[in-house]
Structure 1
Amino acid sequence: MKIGVVVLSRFSSNRLPGKALMVISGKPILQYIIERISQVVDIEKIVIATSLENSDDKIEQFAQNIGIDCFRGSLDNVAERFFQAGKNKNWDYIVRINGDNIFLDINILKDMITIAKTGKYDFITNVKDRTFPKGMSIEILKLSYFESLLQQINKEDKYREHVTLYAYDYPSENNFYYSNSLLPEASGIQMALDTAEDFERTEKIIQHFNGDHFNYNLYEIYNIWKEIQK
């Protein structure tokens, strides 16, 4: 069973251009994400998938600098880019992580990959019903299943842009919905990095860390988040 992680990222973000490489405490945002993922999977099983636009040359250069593979594809057809990045590696399952999910919980990622390794499911996700904070999203798709959806996905812009939306709108019987029962009060809060305000909040949270950032989990990050709201 070959499982790999595709980090979707582009430099030309509409609301916060260049956010992927913005620096907090001496480290680019993408590096925080890669370091979290690499606690769970080997580095050669991680790919940064960006676009062919010139602006994303910076993303490719970053990937090269830290020894991560970079796949470049369509700017607008993100679903196709995601699929091709996984197909290029001949993976059985592809894990989708967005390039603004800086607070990915590595224990949740471990659990969900373990579920994928059973081979029972087409789609494993912790996004349904937003029981986790935004910014801790993890979606894992069987490559053959996702390929079977592409013909329909490619018919509508909304499905091409929002990679997994079709899989939610027309669910398989073999889906696994991973829910947050540990800390329901954290459901749906904004921890993704999408705006300048998000960047300020992210910076404050990271400045509260006393050890390696990747060891901070949902519970600990949520408590810091509560503290900085005061």
Structure 2
Amino acid sequence: MTATGIVQARMGSERCPGKSMELVGGAPVVAVVLGRLTKAKRLSRVVLATSKLDMDVVLAEKAEALGIPVFRGSEADLVDRFLAAAHKYAETPYIVRATGDNVFVDWNEIDRLVEFGIEGGWDFVGFDNEVYKDRINDFAGEFIKLEALERVAALTDDPYDREHVFPYFYAHPDQFKVTRIQVHPSLHTPVKLDLDYPEDLELLQAIGEEVADPIEVPSPEVVRIASQLRSVSL
């Protein structure tokens, strides 16, 4: 059994505007994320879910040029956007929520996540990091049972819940079968490797300059390069 990978991305970031089309290793960030996810064996399909805003047309066009299905929906209501994308494209009752911020998403972590979620009958599975507590999801995403997300949509109108997708699951473990798995040891690093701020982009672009192909480079190698670059900058 497999899941459908759904990637949320947009151009309108307040902290780093246009980040999804910035180049890392010669390729737009959105293309790197989508390309890396397509390498996951437990994802039968990868979909880009972006907004209906005019500024996000460029993301839709890039994904379509890569042969990736696109869904365009609400800018702020991510629960609705993910549900609608899943109803249109999902081939199984499971999805993986990934974000365009996790540039070097690890396909092996995605496979491990999906396998764990399906075999355990979980409604929602996220990650935890017992070594670096604030680096829990730079390389993966969340496993969500589609039926569970449909229940969240019916149970909450809170804008925060609707925008971030996952909070309602963690806040109501009595209503859902929820757990976390540990980040793989090969991906343990104190270095921030998700894309929120211009300084994050600078580091990710520096990593991109060190690799032959940002889509093919294994994530543990990204960790090694990032650690070297960070130690040099210090």
Above 0.5 in TM-score?
yes
Deviates more, 1:102-111 or 1:82-91: 82-91
* Residue of structure 2 equivalent to 1:159: 161
Match of 2:223, as an amino acid?
Y
Q: 1:93 to 1:31 in 2, by over 3 A?
A: same
* Residue of structure 1 equivalent to 2:8: 8
Q: 1:181 to 1:216 in 2, by over 3 A?
A: closer
In 2, Cα distance between the equivalents of 1:220 and 1:185? 12
Q: 1:107 to 1:185 in 2, by over 3 A?
A: closer
Instruction: From 192, 195, 204, give the equivalent of 2:194.
Output: 192
Match of 2:29, as an amino acid?
I
Q: Deviations over 1:78-112 (max 9, x none)?
A: 11101211122243011001011111111111111
Match of 1:80, as an amino acid?
D
Q: Which runs of 5+ in 2 are unaligned?
A: none
Instruction: From 177, 181, 193, give the equivalent of 2:180.
Output: 177
- Asked if the contact 1:10–1:59 (Cα under 8 Å) also holds between the matched residues in 2, the reply is yes
Q: 1:69 to 1:78 in 2, by over 3 A?
A: same
In 2, Cα distance between the equivalents of 1:66 and 1:183? 30
- Asked if the contact 1:44–1:69 (Cα under 8 Å) also holds between the matched residues in 2, the reply is no
TM-score by length of 2: 0.87
Q: 1:41 to 1:68 in 2, by over 3 A?
A: farther
* Residue of structure 2 equivalent to 1:99: 100
SS of the counterpart of 1:178? strand
In 1, Cα distance between the equivalents of 2:229 and 2:79? 36
- Asked if the contact 2:106–2:218 (Cα under 8 Å) also holds between the matched residues in 1, the reply is yes
In 1, Cα distance between the equivalents of 2:44 and 2:113? 19
1:121 aligns with 2:127: no
- Residue 72 of structure 1: how far off its partner (Å): 0.8
Deviates more, 1:41-50 or 1:63-72: 41-50
Q: Which runs of 5+ in 1 are unaligned?
A: none
1:119-158 → structure 2 map (5 Å cutoff): 120-127=121-128, 130=133, 132-153=135-156, 155-158=157-160
- Residue 34 of structure 1: how far off its partner (Å): 1.1
Match of 2:154, as an amino acid?
Q
Number of aligned residue pairs: 227
- Asked if the contact 1:131–1:180 (Cα under 8 Å) also holds between the matched residues in 2, the reply is no
* Residue of structure 1 equivalent to 2:64: 64
Query: Identity of aligned pairs, percent?
Result: 26
1:203-222 → structure 2 map (5 Å cutoff): 203-210=205-212, 213-217=215-219, 219-222=220-223
Q: Deviations over 1:46-72 (max 9, x none)?
A: 110011111111111111111111001
TM-score by length of 1: 0.88
SS of the counterpart of 1:198? helix
In 2, Cα distance between the equivalents of 1:120 and 1:42? 16
The root-mean-square deviation of aligned C-alpha atoms, in Å, is: 2.4
- Residue 26 of structure 1: how far off its partner (Å): 2.2
- Asked if the contact 1:131–1:179 (Cα under 8 Å) also holds between the matched residues in 2, the reply is no
